[in-house]
């Protein structure tokens, strides 16, 4: 073979390899949330769900023939850290889209970064109304809103628990106070004024003074807006002081870690919470649930929400033929998407057109069940 032909062949091979590498370039998707810290249980749910979705979507051809690669962003549910994570995902990682964040107080500031960069974002679990009320064109959620969730909780307190002397407690955070205020407003509409409205601080563990106030107010129901990290100790101290009032909360306690933070199943027995209809029982998700359980993981909480979020991103990018966030966002607002949680549709704000909040109750084995 002549030197010229060898040169031509080498050029052809290198060009082919180069084109191949371009054709198989990874589609980077950020998965942002509390992967460390006291709320890491929710970050684990996100990561497990998104990882399984990426594996399954890649096996079916990926996004426009290119494989999905997930990039973890740990915000520890701290707003400033969330902004730093968002900037890293955009500027350094060059992600095409983001699944996240979890805490609304992190999602709201981080989403400003994604919006400025034109990055499509779907949060599996941020429920504060302001997430989608700021006119961001590429911000979506796979869950409902606190003004929907709080109403369901308040109606349950009035209609089923027959609550008359209700205390509304929150953790002073965007999510916790937001959902507490929503429940309080609906209670007021139903003719039940909160006899105590008070905030506690995230990270606190000693709530005995608050429990004393609750006992002094002779409450029959305590509504708590916040996360399991504070709900657990509050529950335990209520029961240890003999306060038998019903305890109602939201989707911030949808994790088995509630049992740990409370000190055992006996303290969570009879606790109520709002959450979407159990996604593990939806027909479209049965094969996935079986696969995850076979691997030794129970897909609780937001696991399937994260999986469905990646399904929606992939469907949109595949439909428009490229990772164009603007076109994909427009597509999502006008097309239904089949997910493991059933068919989902979004309105012009990026909210689901239908939410399905229901009541769950924790049993004496430390498990929660839909009522």
Let me know whether 49 and 152 are in one domain.
Answer: no
Q: What is the pLDDT of residue 25?
A: 87
First CA to last CA distance, the chain: 78
β-bridge mates for residue 248, sequence order: 223, 272
Instruction: Note whether residue 7 is domain-resident.
Output: no
Same domain, yes or no: 140 and 285: yes
- Residue identified by tokens 């095409």 is 96
Asked if residue 22 is part of any domain, the answer here is no
238 in the same domain as 287: no
Q: Collapsing DSSP states into helix, strand and coil, what is residue 61? A: coil
Is 208 within a domain?
yes
Helix and strand numbers (H, E) in the chain are 13, 14
- Predicted structure pTM score: 0.88
Task: Give a yes or no: residue 19 inside a domain.
Answer: no
- Note whether 68 and 185 are same-domain residues: no
What is the rounded CA–CA span in Å between residue 138 and residue 104? 16
Rounded to 5 degrees, φ, ψ at 72 are -80, 135
Decide if 121 is inside a domain: yes
35 and 156 in a common domain: no
pLDDT beneath 70, residues of the chain: 1-24
CB of 360 closer than 8 Å to CB of 256:
no
Kindly state whether residue 6 falls inside one of the protein's structural domains.
no
CATH number, position 212: 3.40.50.2300
β-bridge pairing 27-33 and 97-99: parallel
Domain shared by 49 and 108, yes or no: yes
Query: Do 329 and 263 lie in a common domain?
Result: no
In a domain, 41, yes or no: yes
**What domain range is 366 assigned to?**
147-275+358-370
- The total of structural domains in the chain comes to 2
Q: What is the pLDDT of residues 116-125, one digit of tens each?
A: 999 999 999 9
């Amino acid at each position: 073979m002549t030197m010229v032909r060898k040169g031509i062949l080498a050029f052809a091979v290198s060009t082919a390899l180069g084109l191949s590498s371009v054709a198989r370039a990874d589609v980077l998707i950020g998965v942002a949330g509390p992967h460390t810290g006291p709320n890491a249980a929710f970050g684990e749910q996100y990561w497990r769900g998104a990882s399984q979705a990426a594996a399954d979507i890649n096996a079916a051809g990926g996004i426009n023939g290119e494989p999905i690669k997930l990039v973890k962003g740990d915000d520890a549910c701290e707003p400033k850290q969330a902004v730093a994570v968002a900037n890293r995902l955009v500027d350094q990682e060059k992600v095409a889209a983001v699944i996240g964040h979890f805490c609304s107080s992190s999602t709201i500031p981080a989403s400003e970064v994604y919006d400025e960069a034109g990055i499509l974002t779907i949060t599996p679990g941020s429920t504060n109304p302001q997430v989608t009320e700021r006119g961001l064109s590429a911000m979506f959620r796979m869950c409902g809103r606190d003004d929907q969730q709080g109403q369901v909780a308040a109606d349950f307190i009035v209609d089923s628990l027959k609550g008359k002397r209700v205390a509304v407690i929150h953790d002073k955070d965007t999510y916790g106070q937001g959902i507490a205020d929503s429940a309080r407003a609906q209670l007021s509409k139903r003719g039940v004024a909160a006899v105590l409205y008070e905030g506690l601080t995230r990270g606190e563990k000693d709530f005995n003074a608050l429990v004393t106030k609750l006992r002094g107010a002779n409450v029959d129901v305590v509504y708590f807006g916040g996360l399991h990290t504070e709900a657990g100790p509050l529950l335990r101290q209520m029961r240890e002081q003999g306060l038998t009032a019903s305890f109602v909360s939201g989707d911030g306690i949808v994790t088995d870690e509630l049992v740990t933070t409370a000190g055992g199943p006996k303290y969570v027995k009879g606790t109520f919470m709002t959450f979407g209809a159990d996604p593990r029982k939806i027909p479209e998700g049965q094969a996935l649930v079986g696969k995850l359980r076979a691997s030794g993981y129970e897909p609780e909480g937001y696991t399937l929400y994260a999986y469905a979020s990646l399904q929606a991103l992939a469907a949109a990018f595949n439909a428009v033929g490229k990772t164009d966030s603007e076109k994909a966002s427009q597509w999502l607002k006008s097309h239904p998407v089949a997910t493991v949680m059933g068919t989902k549709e979004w309105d012009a704000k990026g909210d689901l057109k239908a939410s399905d909040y229901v009541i769950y109750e924790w049993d004496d084995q430390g498990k929660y069940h839909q009522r």
